[in-house]
Every structure is written in structure tokens, then in C-alpha cells.
Amino acid sequence: MELSSSLVLVFVFAVLMMVRWKRKASSLPPGPVALPLIGNLPIMDKRAPFKSFMQWSKTYGSVMTVYLGPQRMVVLVGYDTVKEALVDHAEHFTGRAPIPFLINVLKGYGLVISNGDRWRQLRRFTLTTLRDFGMGRKRMEQWIQEESRHLLKSFEETKSTPFDPAFFLSRAVSNVICSLVFGQRFDYEDKNFLHLLQIISRLVRFISSPQGQVSRWDSLEQMQREIDRVIGQNRIPTMDDRKSLPFTDAVIHEVQRYLDIIPLNVPHYATHDISFRGYIIPKDTVIIPMLHSVLRDEGQWETPWTFNPEHFLDANGNFKKNPAFIPFSAGKRACVGESLARMELFLFIVSLLQKFSFSSPKGPDGVDLSPELSSFGNMPRFYDLMASPR
């Protein structure tokens, strides 16, 4: 008898919760039916949530409501929708969703998670300071070129034996930031420096979740031939070489598009009721602009699910831009370090391919390039490469 009464109470509670949710959702975009408390979790691909979102968008449209447990979220899918939100209505979509772990670590500060006047002041200060320190200027290029020399030396010291390239590259990229902010670089064996990198790596992995993607090593051999033809193997490249290396630039852009190597889908937040495409997005709703869907938009890319550097080349082999290429996001919340990241990608990759031929101890198909973790950022799997001097 007590069991029956308990079941009735649970049923009544579930019905009341359903009614309450329906009233709240009356002006929200459509979406899959959600259960009280657990939302859409039972029908979601937990290893690759973006796959579920993209599949559901075929039924419910490019603006839809989903529930991760009790948390209400509005997901934006496709280039037109994401651009309209982040660029055309930028002021309404500047809010950043609270990420409890980061709030605990950063105490509410930091450019990534702050909102309102604090965020505006931090962004202005950050952009001004980075420009004063040399970001986007010739001095920054010189710092990256100098770091390239140390990076090349560390690769040479492997003497063609297998090693984990992620560790080497993280030291180089971090040292560029240190040169920018502190005015000095750290030795690659500095214990404090290495400890800091380990902490950062663990933090990013902690707030990421599993996801699968697949890629190939297509076109790297052709890119190597282009580098040899244009600038040879006897000097550190400059950003001016981009004009002479359209295919190299295209491959680097395509790797970013296809692998989504930059942190994606950082949640935004409705700090007030927002009217968007005929719907009302209530205050405190998490908003997910799916950059992944933009980089795979079939209306913007000829072969969106294939690694294809020709996405960034015109009929004459010259580099061309694509407005849907926004791996660093767009609008007022776009990454402030985009110009630095682009410069590093080009100079480091060209420097390495000038000096080394790369191979996998397990053969060409022995490296799984799908990310091990993916949510806040795409975290690559651990793997070994061999760098043989050319």
C-alpha cells in the first residue's frame, strides 16, 4: 500500500513538472521531448553530443531547445543562424554561461567566463595590452621565429626516435605567450614551467568530454613540396611567405576546419529575455552556437565531411577566404588571440616541414586523429611521431 502511494506521488510530481516545463517552453524553439529532471540525456549520443544536435536539427530546425538534465539550452545550428546571433545581434549574445568549475578556479574573473561591465573592461584592457606588447606586429613574428629555432633543436635531439609531439609543441606555444606577457621565455626543462603546462593540460581535459572525429594526413606531401620549392630549407620562414605558399595556407586552414582544433561551442548565456527568429529565449537559458555545424555546413563547403584544402583555393590555385571559416568564433566573444594563433600555426608548421620528414611508427594509418575528449576544447589523443632530418 505504501509502495502504491509512493508511485502515485512520483507520477503526480512528474506530471506537475511536465506541465511546468511546457508552460516555460511555450515561447521557446521546438525540440525533442524532454523528461522531467533528466531532460534529453537518455536519447543523446553522450560520446558525441554534437551528432545528436545536428541530427535533431533536421527535424526541429536550426534553432532548437534541448535539456541536459534540468538545464535548458537553445542550440544554434548552421552558418546563417550562428552568424545572425553572434554578429548581427552581437549585443544580445555576449553573455557567457556560468561554468561552475571555472568559476571556482577563477573566482568569477577572467575574459572567458566574465559578463557585463567586468567583461567589457577586461576585453578592452586585454586587447590594448596585447597590442602594446606587440601582438600582430613584427616584434611578435620575431618572437615566434626565435621560438621556432628552439623547437627545431628539440626535434633534432629526438634523433629520429618516436616521441610525443604534443609535449614539444605545447612548450613552444606557451613560451610565445610568456615572451609576450613576461618579456622572457623559459628553458624547455624548467621545472616550474613544465609543472604549469601539466596543470593547464589537466584542467582543460577535466572540463572536456569524449567526442569522435576522423581525419587523414591528406595533402601534407604536396605541401612539403611547395615549401621546398618556395623557401627551401635554409632559413626561418616569415609571414610574408604566406603570399608565396597558398596551398600551405589552405592546408593549415583546412586542418583547423576539419579537426576543429580550437576550443569550440563555449556556452553563451541569456542575461535577459532575447527575441530571436520569432522565439523568446528566456533569461538564464544556456545558448550553444555550434561552430562545428558552421565548419560542416553543407551550404558553405563543397565537401564538408572530407579533408579538402581546395576549400581555400580558387581556380588559379590562389588562397581564398570563406566567411564560414570561424574556428575562433565570431562577434564580440571572438578569441582575442586569433591573430597570434594564426601566426604561430603558419610559422611553426612551415619551420618543421622545412627541416623534417614525419612518419608514424605504426605506419600512415597508425595515428587516430579523432579527439580523445571534446567539449570545451578538442583534446588530441596521445601518439608518437618520428622526425627524420631532410
What DSSP letter does each residue of 34-45 carry, written as one string? -BTTTBTGGGS-
The amino acid present at 79, given as its one-letter code, is Y
What's the mean pLDDT when you consider all of the chain? Answer: 79
pLDDT in tens, 125-151: 888 877 777 776 777 888 889 999 999
The rounded Cα 45 to chain-centroid distance in angstroms is 20
Neighbours of 15 (CB within 10 A): 11
* CA distance to 78, 153, 325, per residue, from 310 (Å): 21, 33, 13
For 248, the 3-state DSSP assignment is: helix
The region of weakest confidence among 5-19, 22-36, 61-75 is 5-19
User: Highest-confidence range of 112-121, 165-174, 211-220, 234-243, by mean pLDDT?
Assistant: 165-174
pLDDT in tens, 216-240: 334 556 666 766 666 666 667 787 8
- Look at the chain and count its residues: 390
As a whole number of angstroms, the distance between CA 213 and CA 369 comes to 7
Beta bridge partners of 359: 386
Instruction: Walk me through the domains of the chain, giving residue ranges and CATH numbers.
Output: 134-259+303-323+332-389 (1.10.630.10)
CA angle (335 as vertex; 120, 327 as ends), nearest 5: 145
As a whole number of angstroms, the distance between CA 171 and CA 176 comes to 9
Q: Residue 105 — pLDDT band, cuts 50, 70, 90?
A: low
Higher-confidence residue of 366 and 23: namely 366
Tell me what pLDDT residue 211 has. Answer: 37
Looking at residues 84-99, what average pLDDT do you find? 86
Looking at residues 178-192, what average pLDDT do you find? 80
Percent with pLDDT over 70 in the chain: 77
* CA distance to 191, 233, 256, 371, per residue, from 208 (Å): 26, 39, 18, 11
The amino acid present at 6, given as its one-letter code, is S
DSSP secondary structure letter of residue 49: H
Higher-confidence residue of 326 and 23: namely 326
In this model, does residue 119 exceed pLDDT 50? yes
The amino acid present at 258, given as its one-letter code, is Y
The amino acid present at 61, given as its one-letter code, is G
Tell me what pLDDT residue 313 has. Answer: 92
In this model, does residue 262 exceed pLDDT 90? no
For 14, the 3-state DSSP assignment is: helix
- Are 293 and 54 contacting, i.e. CB atoms less than 8 angstroms apart? yes
- Are 39 and 70 contacting, i.e. CB atoms less than 8 angstroms apart? yes
Helices (H) and strands (E) in the chain, counts: 12, 10
Tell me what pLDDT residue 23 has. Answer: 43
Tell me what pLDDT residue 9 has. Answer: 56
For 48, the 3-state DSSP assignment is: coil
The region of weakest confidence among 34-38, 154-158, 167-171, 364-368 is 364-368
Looking at residues 175-190, what average pLDDT do you find? 81
The amino acid present at 334, given as its one-letter code, is A
Residue 49, φ and ψ in degrees, nearest 5: -55, -35
Higher-confidence residue of 86 and 2: namely 86
